[in-house]
Structure 1
Amino acid sequence: MNFQTLTIVDFISFGVFISAWVLYTAFADHSPWANQSLTHKMNQYRERWMQEMVSRDMRMIDTTILGNLMTGIAFFASTAMLILGGIVALLSNGTTVSQSIKHLPYAIDSSPALWEFKVLVLALIFVYAFFKFAWAFRLTNYCNIMVGSAPVKESDKSELELHAKCASKLSCRAGHHFNRGLRAFFFGSAALAWLFHPLAMLFASLVVVLVLYRREFSSTALLAMKT
Protein backbone atom coordinates (compact mmCIF):
# COMPACT_ATOMS: atom_id res chain seq x y z
CA MET A 1 0.00 0.00 0.00
CA ASN A 2 1.14 3.57 -0.75
CA PHE A 3 1.16 5.32 2.63
CA GLN A 4 0.74 8.64 0.83
CA THR A 5 -2.96 7.74 0.69
CA LEU A 6 -3.06 8.13 4.50
CA THR A 7 -3.75 11.68 5.62
CA ILE A 8 -2.26 13.29 8.72
CA VAL A 9 -5.59 12.76 10.49
CA ASP A 10 -5.50 9.06 9.56
CA PHE A 11 -1.98 8.71 10.96
CA ILE A 12 -2.88 10.50 14.20
CA SER A 13 -6.11 8.55 14.68
CA PHE A 14 -4.47 5.21 13.96
CA GLY A 15 -1.61 6.10 16.32
CA VAL A 16 -4.07 6.99 19.09
CA PHE A 17 -5.95 3.74 18.46
CA ILE A 18 -2.82 1.57 18.75
CA SER A 19 -1.50 3.56 21.73
CA ALA A 20 -4.82 3.35 23.56
CA TRP A 21 -4.95 -0.43 23.13
CA VAL A 22 -1.32 -1.06 24.10
CA LEU A 23 -1.25 1.37 27.03
CA TYR A 24 -4.56 0.22 28.45
CA THR A 25 -3.45 -3.42 28.23
CA ALA A 26 -0.21 -2.55 30.04
CA PHE A 27 -2.17 -0.65 32.71
CA ALA A 28 -4.88 -3.27 33.21
CA ASP A 29 -2.66 -6.37 33.11
CA HIS A 30 0.84 -5.39 34.18
CA SER A 31 0.76 -2.21 36.27
CA PRO A 32 0.64 -2.01 40.09
CA TRP A 33 -3.08 -1.14 39.71
CA ALA A 34 -3.80 -4.48 38.02
CA ASN A 35 -4.38 -6.00 41.47
CA GLN A 36 -7.40 -3.72 41.85
CA SER A 37 -9.18 -5.00 38.74
CA LEU A 38 -12.21 -7.21 38.37
CA THR A 39 -10.05 -9.77 36.57
CA HIS A 40 -7.68 -10.04 39.53
CA LYS A 41 -10.62 -10.49 41.89
CA MET A 42 -12.08 -13.22 39.71
CA ASN A 43 -8.70 -14.96 39.60
CA GLN A 44 -8.80 -15.13 43.38
CA TYR A 45 -12.19 -16.84 43.13
CA ARG A 46 -10.80 -19.21 40.49
CA GLU A 47 -8.07 -20.23 42.92
CA ARG A 48 -10.59 -20.70 45.71
CA TRP A 49 -12.81 -22.71 43.35
CA MET A 50 -10.04 -25.20 42.61
CA GLN A 51 -9.18 -25.48 46.29
CA GLU A 52 -12.81 -26.34 46.98
CA MET A 53 -12.84 -28.73 44.01
CA VAL A 54 -10.12 -30.99 45.40
CA SER A 55 -11.95 -31.21 48.72
CA ARG A 56 -15.15 -32.56 47.13
CA ASP A 57 -16.05 -36.19 46.61
CA MET A 58 -18.17 -35.53 43.53
CA ARG A 59 -16.77 -33.08 40.98
CA MET A 60 -19.74 -33.08 38.60
CA ILE A 61 -20.59 -29.50 39.57
CA ASP A 62 -17.07 -28.39 38.58
CA THR A 63 -17.18 -30.08 35.20
CA THR A 64 -20.62 -28.56 34.60
CA ILE A 65 -19.32 -25.06 35.34
CA LEU A 66 -16.34 -25.60 33.06
CA GLY A 67 -18.65 -26.88 30.33
CA ASN A 68 -20.70 -23.68 30.61
CA LEU A 69 -17.54 -21.59 30.39
CA MET A 70 -16.45 -23.48 27.28
CA THR A 71 -19.84 -22.83 25.68
CA GLY A 72 -19.43 -19.08 26.23
CA ILE A 73 -15.90 -19.07 24.84
CA ALA A 74 -16.97 -21.11 21.82
CA PHE A 75 -19.77 -18.61 21.16
CA PHE A 76 -17.32 -15.71 20.95
CA ALA A 77 -14.86 -17.71 18.84
CA SER A 78 -17.68 -18.52 16.39
CA THR A 79 -18.76 -14.87 16.40
CA ALA A 80 -15.21 -13.81 15.52
CA MET A 81 -15.27 -16.15 12.52
CA LEU A 82 -18.63 -14.79 11.39
CA ILE A 83 -17.29 -11.25 11.65
CA LEU A 84 -14.26 -12.28 9.58
CA GLY A 85 -16.64 -13.60 6.95
CA GLY A 86 -18.33 -10.20 6.87
CA ILE A 87 -14.96 -8.48 6.57
CA VAL A 88 -14.06 -10.65 3.58
CA ALA A 89 -17.35 -9.56 2.03
CA LEU A 90 -16.32 -5.94 2.64
CA LEU A 91 -13.13 -6.55 0.68
CA SER A 92 -14.91 -8.17 -2.23
CA ASN A 93 -17.57 -5.44 -2.37
CA GLY A 94 -15.38 -2.56 -1.25
CA THR A 95 -16.39 -0.12 -3.97
CA THR A 96 -20.11 -0.51 -3.33
CA VAL A 97 -19.81 -0.27 0.46
CA SER A 98 -17.38 2.66 0.43
CA GLN A 99 -19.64 4.56 -1.97
CA SER A 100 -22.61 3.94 0.33
CA ILE A 101 -20.70 5.19 3.39
CA LYS A 102 -19.48 8.25 1.49
CA HIS A 103 -23.04 9.53 1.22
CA LEU A 104 -23.50 9.58 5.00
CA PRO A 105 -23.21 12.99 6.72
CA TYR A 106 -19.59 13.93 7.62
CA ALA A 107 -18.22 10.68 6.13
CA ILE A 108 -15.03 10.96 4.10
CA ASP A 109 -14.22 9.30 0.82
CA SER A 110 -11.37 6.78 0.91
CA SER A 111 -9.22 5.66 -2.00
CA PRO A 112 -9.47 1.94 -2.86
CA ALA A 113 -6.02 1.32 -1.36
CA LEU A 114 -6.88 3.11 1.89
CA TRP A 115 -10.22 1.31 2.10
CA GLU A 116 -8.52 -2.06 1.75
CA PHE A 117 -5.97 -1.11 4.41
CA LYS A 118 -8.75 -0.17 6.86
CA VAL A 119 -10.58 -3.43 6.21
CA LEU A 120 -7.37 -5.46 6.59
CA VAL A 121 -6.75 -3.78 9.97
CA LEU A 122 -10.23 -4.89 11.00
CA ALA A 123 -9.50 -8.41 9.79
CA LEU A 124 -6.27 -8.61 11.77
CA ILE A 125 -8.05 -7.50 14.95
CA PHE A 126 -10.68 -10.23 14.71
CA VAL A 127 -8.14 -12.87 13.67
CA TYR A 128 -6.28 -11.96 16.86
CA ALA A 129 -9.54 -12.22 18.83
CA PHE A 130 -10.28 -15.65 17.34
CA PHE A 131 -6.85 -16.97 18.31
CA LYS A 132 -7.32 -15.67 21.86
CA PHE A 133 -10.74 -17.30 22.19
CA ALA A 134 -9.50 -20.55 20.63
CA TRP A 135 -6.61 -20.73 23.11
CA ALA A 136 -8.91 -19.86 26.02
CA PHE A 137 -11.22 -22.69 24.90
CA ARG A 138 -8.32 -25.13 24.79
CA LEU A 139 -7.01 -24.08 28.21
CA THR A 140 -10.48 -24.47 29.70
CA ASN A 141 -10.62 -27.95 28.19
CA TYR A 142 -7.26 -28.72 29.82
CA CYS A 143 -8.63 -27.42 33.11
CA ASN A 144 -11.58 -29.79 32.69
CA ILE A 145 -9.12 -32.66 32.36
CA MET A 146 -7.32 -31.46 35.49
CA VAL A 147 -10.60 -31.61 37.38
CA GLY A 148 -11.26 -35.12 36.09
CA SER A 149 -7.78 -36.28 37.12
CA ALA A 150 -7.85 -34.66 40.58
CA PRO A 151 -6.82 -37.00 43.42
CA VAL A 152 -9.50 -38.16 45.83
CA LYS A 153 -9.95 -35.88 48.82
CA GLU A 154 -8.40 -38.50 51.14
CA SER A 155 -5.06 -38.12 49.33
CA ASP A 156 -2.04 -36.38 50.79
CA LYS A 157 -2.76 -32.71 51.53
CA SER A 158 0.32 -31.46 49.67
CA GLU A 159 -0.71 -33.45 46.58
CA LEU A 160 -4.20 -31.93 46.68
CA GLU A 161 -2.81 -28.42 47.10
CA LEU A 162 -0.40 -28.86 44.19
CA HIS A 163 -3.17 -30.15 41.93
CA ALA A 164 -5.47 -27.28 42.91
CA LYS A 165 -2.68 -24.78 42.25
CA CYS A 166 -1.97 -26.19 38.78
CA ALA A 167 -5.67 -26.28 37.88
CA SER A 168 -6.21 -22.71 39.09
CA LYS A 169 -3.26 -21.49 36.99
CA LEU A 170 -4.79 -23.07 33.89
CA SER A 171 -8.16 -21.53 34.71
CA CYS A 172 -6.62 -18.09 35.27
CA ARG A 173 -4.71 -18.26 31.98
CA ALA A 174 -7.90 -19.23 30.18
CA GLY A 175 -9.60 -16.20 31.72
CA HIS A 176 -6.65 -14.01 30.72
CA HIS A 177 -6.85 -14.99 27.05
CA PHE A 178 -10.64 -14.74 27.05
CA ASN A 179 -10.36 -11.17 28.39
CA ARG A 180 -7.82 -10.32 25.67
CA GLY A 181 -10.26 -11.60 23.06
CA LEU A 182 -13.11 -9.53 24.48
CA ARG A 183 -10.85 -6.49 24.57
CA ALA A 184 -10.10 -7.03 20.87
CA PHE A 185 -13.85 -7.00 20.21
CA PHE A 186 -14.14 -3.63 21.96
CA PHE A 187 -11.26 -2.09 20.06
CA GLY A 188 -12.51 -3.72 16.86
CA SER A 189 -15.68 -1.68 17.22
CA ALA A 190 -13.51 1.44 17.48
CA ALA A 191 -11.58 0.46 14.34
CA LEU A 192 -14.88 -0.02 12.54
CA ALA A 193 -15.52 3.71 12.97
CA TRP A 194 -12.45 4.37 10.80
CA LEU A 195 -14.48 3.30 7.77
CA PHE A 196 -16.64 6.34 8.45
CA HIS A 197 -14.09 8.95 9.53
CA PRO A 198 -10.62 8.84 11.16
CA LEU A 199 -11.72 11.22 13.91
CA ALA A 200 -14.59 8.86 14.67
CA MET A 201 -12.02 6.12 15.33
CA LEU A 202 -9.99 8.45 17.55
CA PHE A 203 -13.06 9.35 19.60
CA ALA A 204 -14.28 5.74 19.71
CA SER A 205 -10.85 4.55 20.93
CA LEU A 206 -11.00 6.91 23.89
CA VAL A 207 -14.58 5.89 24.65
CA VAL A 208 -13.59 2.21 24.59
CA VAL A 209 -10.78 2.87 27.08
CA LEU A 210 -13.20 4.67 29.40
CA VAL A 211 -15.77 1.88 29.14
CA LEU A 212 -13.17 -0.83 29.77
CA TYR A 213 -11.71 1.07 32.72
CA ARG A 214 -15.09 1.54 34.31
CA ARG A 215 -16.03 -2.12 33.88
CA GLU A 216 -12.72 -3.50 35.12
CA PHE A 217 -11.89 -1.02 37.89
CA SER A 218 -15.06 0.71 39.09
CA SER A 219 -18.03 -1.41 38.10
CA THR A 220 -20.81 -2.35 40.49
CA ALA A 221 -19.80 -5.99 40.02
CA LEU A 222 -16.34 -5.25 41.44
CA LEU A 223 -17.79 -3.23 44.29
CA ALA A 224 -20.17 -6.08 45.10
CA MET A 225 -17.27 -8.53 45.43
CA LYS A 226 -15.37 -6.16 47.69
CA THR A 227 -18.18 -5.95 50.23
Structure 2
Amino acid sequence: MAALKFLPWYDWLALLWFFGLWLGYARFSGSTQQATLLQTTNRYRRYWMEQATARDPRVLDGIIVQGLSSSPSFFASTTIIIIGGLLALLGATDKASEFVREIPFAVRTSVLVFDLKVMLLTGIFVYAFFRFTWSMRQYTFAALVIGSMPDPADFSAGKFDRKHFADRAGKMLGMAAETFNGGVRAYYMSFAATAWFFSSLAFAVATAAVVLVLYAREFRSEVLHVLRD
Protein backbone atom coordinates (compact mmCIF):
# COMPACT_ATOMS: atom_id res chain seq x y z
CA MET A 1 0.00 0.00 0.00
CA ALA A 2 2.87 2.35 0.76
CA ALA A 3 4.24 1.76 -2.73
CA LEU A 4 0.84 2.48 -4.28
CA LYS A 5 0.70 5.72 -2.34
CA PHE A 6 4.20 7.06 -2.90
CA LEU A 7 4.93 5.81 -6.43
CA PRO A 8 3.52 8.19 -9.07
CA TRP A 9 1.13 6.83 -11.71
CA TYR A 10 3.60 7.42 -14.53
CA ASP A 11 6.15 5.22 -12.75
CA TRP A 12 3.58 2.43 -12.53
CA LEU A 13 2.86 2.92 -16.21
CA ALA A 14 6.55 2.66 -17.02
CA LEU A 15 6.76 -0.54 -14.94
CA LEU A 16 3.83 -2.08 -16.81
CA TRP A 17 5.48 -1.08 -20.09
CA PHE A 18 8.76 -2.68 -18.96
CA PHE A 19 7.32 -6.04 -17.95
CA GLY A 20 4.84 -6.04 -20.82
CA LEU A 21 7.58 -5.61 -23.43
CA TRP A 22 9.90 -8.09 -21.72
CA LEU A 23 7.30 -10.84 -21.36
CA GLY A 24 5.73 -10.05 -24.72
CA TYR A 25 9.03 -10.25 -26.54
CA ALA A 26 9.97 -13.48 -24.77
CA ARG A 27 6.67 -15.05 -25.82
CA PHE A 28 7.00 -13.72 -29.36
CA SER A 29 10.56 -14.98 -29.85
CA GLY A 30 9.65 -18.39 -28.49
CA SER A 31 6.52 -18.93 -30.59
CA THR A 32 7.18 -17.10 -33.86
CA GLN A 33 7.53 -19.01 -37.12
CA GLN A 34 10.41 -16.75 -38.17
CA ALA A 35 13.89 -18.21 -37.94
CA THR A 36 15.62 -16.92 -34.83
CA LEU A 37 19.25 -17.17 -33.83
CA LEU A 38 18.40 -19.78 -31.20
CA GLN A 39 16.29 -21.90 -33.56
CA THR A 40 19.00 -21.79 -36.21
CA THR A 41 21.77 -22.80 -33.82
CA ASN A 42 19.54 -25.60 -32.52
CA ARG A 43 19.77 -27.15 -35.99
CA TYR A 44 23.55 -27.14 -35.69
CA ARG A 45 23.27 -28.73 -32.25
CA ARG A 46 21.21 -31.50 -33.83
CA TYR A 47 23.82 -31.97 -36.58
CA TRP A 48 26.54 -32.02 -33.96
CA MET A 49 24.82 -34.77 -31.97
CA GLU A 50 24.25 -36.78 -35.13
CA GLN A 51 28.01 -36.68 -35.73
CA ALA A 52 28.62 -37.59 -32.09
CA THR A 53 26.74 -40.86 -32.51
CA ALA A 54 29.33 -41.92 -35.08
CA ARG A 55 32.35 -40.74 -33.09
CA ASP A 56 34.36 -42.87 -30.69
CA PRO A 57 35.67 -41.84 -28.27
CA ARG A 58 33.53 -38.76 -27.67
CA VAL A 59 36.18 -36.76 -25.86
CA LEU A 60 35.81 -33.81 -28.23
CA ASP A 61 32.08 -33.60 -27.55
CA GLY A 62 32.68 -33.61 -23.80
CA ILE A 63 35.20 -30.79 -24.12
CA ILE A 64 32.75 -28.71 -26.18
CA VAL A 65 29.93 -29.23 -23.64
CA GLN A 66 32.29 -28.24 -20.83
CA GLY A 67 33.24 -25.10 -22.73
CA LEU A 68 29.60 -24.22 -23.32
CA SER A 69 28.75 -24.67 -19.64
CA SER A 70 31.53 -22.29 -18.61
CA SER A 71 29.57 -19.27 -19.88
CA PRO A 72 26.53 -19.70 -17.59
CA SER A 73 28.93 -20.56 -14.75
CA PHE A 74 30.77 -17.27 -15.25
CA PHE A 75 27.55 -15.27 -15.46
CA ALA A 76 26.14 -16.97 -12.35
CA SER A 77 29.24 -16.05 -10.34
CA THR A 78 29.13 -12.48 -11.64
CA THR A 79 25.43 -12.21 -10.85
CA ILE A 80 26.04 -13.21 -7.22
CA ILE A 81 28.51 -10.33 -6.89
CA ILE A 82 26.03 -7.89 -8.45
CA ILE A 83 23.24 -9.04 -6.13
CA GLY A 84 25.53 -8.59 -3.14
CA GLY A 85 26.35 -5.05 -4.26
CA LEU A 86 22.67 -4.18 -4.72
CA LEU A 87 21.78 -5.57 -1.28
CA ALA A 88 24.58 -3.49 0.22
CA LEU A 89 23.17 -0.48 -1.62
CA LEU A 90 19.81 -1.04 0.08
CA GLY A 91 21.59 -0.58 3.40
CA ALA A 92 22.91 2.83 2.37
CA THR A 93 19.99 4.25 0.41
CA ASP A 94 20.17 7.70 2.03
CA LYS A 95 23.65 8.43 0.68
CA ALA A 96 22.95 6.67 -2.61
CA SER A 97 19.73 8.59 -3.24
CA GLU A 98 21.53 11.87 -2.51
CA PHE A 99 24.20 10.91 -5.04
CA VAL A 100 21.57 10.16 -7.69
CA ARG A 101 19.87 13.51 -7.08
CA GLU A 102 23.12 15.23 -8.04
CA ILE A 103 23.20 13.50 -11.44
CA PRO A 104 22.09 15.90 -14.21
CA PHE A 105 18.57 15.28 -15.56
CA ALA A 106 17.84 12.75 -12.79
CA VAL A 107 14.39 13.10 -11.21
CA ARG A 108 14.42 13.68 -7.47
CA THR A 109 12.54 10.94 -5.64
CA SER A 110 11.98 9.80 -2.08
CA VAL A 111 14.10 7.16 -0.40
CA LEU A 112 11.21 4.70 -0.64
CA VAL A 113 10.98 5.07 -4.42
CA PHE A 114 14.75 4.72 -4.68
CA ASP A 115 14.53 1.48 -2.69
CA LEU A 116 11.89 0.18 -5.08
CA LYS A 117 14.15 0.86 -8.05
CA VAL A 118 17.03 -0.98 -6.40
CA MET A 119 14.70 -3.87 -5.53
CA LEU A 120 13.62 -4.08 -9.17
CA LEU A 121 17.25 -4.42 -10.26
CA THR A 122 17.86 -6.99 -7.53
CA GLY A 123 14.86 -9.02 -8.65
CA ILE A 124 16.06 -8.99 -12.26
CA PHE A 125 19.48 -10.32 -11.30
CA VAL A 126 17.99 -12.95 -8.97
CA TYR A 127 15.92 -14.17 -11.92
CA ALA A 128 19.05 -14.17 -14.10
CA PHE A 129 20.93 -16.17 -11.46
CA PHE A 130 18.28 -18.90 -11.45
CA ARG A 131 18.37 -19.05 -15.25
CA PHE A 132 22.15 -19.36 -15.40
CA THR A 133 22.36 -22.03 -12.70
CA TRP A 134 19.59 -24.05 -14.35
CA SER A 135 21.43 -23.77 -17.66
CA MET A 136 24.54 -25.16 -15.97
CA ARG A 137 22.59 -28.17 -14.73
CA GLN A 138 21.03 -28.72 -18.13
CA TYR A 139 24.47 -28.82 -19.73
CA THR A 140 25.39 -31.43 -17.11
CA PHE A 141 22.37 -33.49 -18.12
CA ALA A 142 23.32 -33.11 -21.77
CA ALA A 143 26.81 -34.40 -20.97
CA LEU A 144 25.21 -37.44 -19.32
CA VAL A 145 23.10 -38.08 -22.42
CA ILE A 146 26.17 -37.85 -24.65
CA GLY A 147 28.15 -40.10 -22.33
CA SER A 148 25.38 -42.70 -22.36
CA MET A 149 25.39 -43.01 -26.15
CA PRO A 150 26.12 -46.58 -27.28
CA ASP A 151 29.13 -47.55 -29.34
CA PRO A 152 28.98 -46.40 -33.00
CA ALA A 153 29.17 -50.05 -34.07
CA ASP A 154 25.93 -50.74 -32.19
CA PHE A 155 24.24 -47.91 -34.08
CA SER A 156 25.52 -49.28 -37.37
CA ALA A 157 24.29 -52.77 -36.45
CA GLY A 158 20.82 -51.40 -35.79
CA LYS A 159 20.77 -52.26 -32.07
CA PHE A 160 19.94 -48.65 -31.19
CA ASP A 161 18.17 -45.84 -33.00
CA ARG A 162 20.76 -43.23 -33.99
CA LYS A 163 18.09 -40.57 -34.70
CA HIS A 164 16.50 -41.03 -31.27
CA PHE A 165 19.76 -40.46 -29.41
CA ALA A 166 20.77 -37.50 -31.61
CA ASP A 167 17.36 -35.83 -31.24
CA ARG A 168 17.31 -36.24 -27.46
CA ALA A 169 20.85 -34.94 -26.94
CA GLY A 170 20.32 -32.07 -29.39
CA LYS A 171 17.08 -31.08 -27.67
CA MET A 172 18.77 -31.11 -24.27
CA LEU A 173 21.54 -28.84 -25.53
CA GLY A 174 18.95 -26.53 -27.08
CA MET A 175 17.08 -26.29 -23.77
CA ALA A 176 20.29 -25.37 -21.96
CA ALA A 177 21.05 -22.70 -24.57
CA GLU A 178 17.52 -21.31 -24.34
CA THR A 179 17.75 -21.06 -20.55
CA PHE A 180 21.10 -19.29 -20.84
CA ASN A 181 19.60 -16.94 -23.41
CA GLY A 182 16.88 -16.02 -20.91
CA GLY A 183 19.50 -15.05 -18.35
CA VAL A 184 21.43 -12.93 -20.85
CA ARG A 185 18.16 -11.25 -21.86
CA ALA A 186 17.63 -10.33 -18.20
CA TYR A 187 21.03 -8.66 -18.21
CA TYR A 188 19.95 -6.59 -21.20
CA MET A 189 16.73 -5.59 -19.46
CA SER A 190 18.67 -4.54 -16.36
CA PHE A 191 20.19 -1.71 -18.42
CA ALA A 192 16.68 -0.49 -19.18
CA ALA A 193 15.78 -0.71 -15.48
CA THR A 194 18.83 1.39 -14.62
CA ALA A 195 17.36 4.23 -16.68
CA TRP A 196 14.51 4.41 -14.14
CA PHE A 197 16.91 6.18 -11.77
CA PHE A 198 16.83 9.12 -14.20
CA SER A 199 13.11 9.29 -14.99
CA SER A 200 10.12 7.16 -15.90
CA LEU A 201 10.30 8.48 -19.47
CA ALA A 202 13.94 7.40 -19.78
CA PHE A 203 12.89 4.04 -18.32
CA ALA A 204 10.20 3.55 -20.98
CA VAL A 205 12.42 4.69 -23.85
CA ALA A 206 15.33 2.51 -22.69
CA THR A 207 13.00 -0.50 -22.44
CA ALA A 208 11.87 -0.07 -26.03
CA ALA A 209 15.47 0.46 -27.18
CA VAL A 210 16.69 -2.71 -25.45
CA VAL A 211 13.88 -4.80 -26.96
CA LEU A 212 14.75 -3.42 -30.41
CA VAL A 213 18.39 -4.38 -29.88
CA LEU A 214 17.34 -7.88 -28.83
CA TYR A 215 15.11 -8.20 -31.87
CA ALA A 216 17.86 -7.01 -34.20
CA ARG A 217 20.35 -9.51 -32.83
CA GLU A 218 18.00 -12.49 -32.73
CA PHE A 219 16.14 -11.88 -36.00
CA ARG A 220 18.23 -9.56 -38.20
CA SER A 221 21.88 -10.07 -37.25
CA GLU A 222 24.64 -10.88 -39.71
CA VAL A 223 25.47 -13.96 -37.64
CA LEU A 224 22.00 -15.32 -38.30
CA HIS A 225 22.35 -14.73 -42.04
CA VAL A 226 25.71 -16.54 -42.08
CA LEU A 227 24.31 -19.53 -40.18
CA ARG A 228 21.28 -19.75 -42.45
CA ASP A 229 23.30 -19.64 -45.71
TM-score (norm 1): 0.95
Query: Is structure 2 residue 2 aligned with structure 1 residue 10?
Result: no
CA contact (8 A) 1:194 1:201 kept: yes
Gap runs ≥5 in structure 1: none
SS in 2 for 1:138: helix
Partners of 2:133 and 2:7 lie apart in 1 by 34
**2:68 equivalent in structure 1:** 69
CA contact (8 A) 1:5 1:114 kept: yes
Partners of 1:161 and 1:57 lie apart in 2 by 17
Partners of 2:198 and 2:90 lie apart in 1 by 15
**2:43 equivalent in structure 1:** 44
Q: Percent identity?
A: 34
Q: How does 1:95-174 map to 2 (within 5 A)?
A: 95-156=94-155, 157=158, 158-174=160-176
| Letter of the 1:28 counterpart | S
**Post-superposition offset of 1:136:** 0.4
List, as ranges, runs of 4+ consecutive aligned residues in structure 1 with deviation greater than 2 Å.
156-161
TM-score (norm 2): 0.94
Deviations 1:25-68 (A, max 9, x none): 111111233xx111100011111111111111121110110111
| Letter of the 2:227 counterpart | M
Partners of 1:84 and 1:26 lie apart in 2 by 26
Partners of 1:66 and 1:32 lie apart in 2 by 28
Deviations 1:152-210 (A, max 9, x none): 10114443322222111111110110010011110111111112221111111011011
SS in 1 for 2:154: coil
Partners of 2:3 and 2:149 lie apart in 1 by 57
CA contact (8 A) 2:41 2:227 kept: no
Partners of 2:100 and 2:112 lie apart in 1 by 16
Partners of 1:167 and 1:140 lie apart in 2 by 10
**Post-superposition offset of 1:2:** 3.0
Deviations 1:128-168 (A, max 9, x none): 10000000000001111111121010114443322222111
Calculate the aligned-residue CA RMSD, in Å: 1.2
**2:187 equivalent in structure 1:** 185
Count of matched residue positions in the alignment of Structure 1 and Structure 2: 225
**1:94 equivalent in structure 2:** 93
Deviations 1:200-224 (A, max 9, x none): 1111101101100110001010011
SS in 2 for 1:122: helix
Gap runs ≥5 in structure 2: none
CA contact (8 A) 1:151 1:160 kept: no
Partners of 1:2 and 1:203 lie apart in 2 by 23
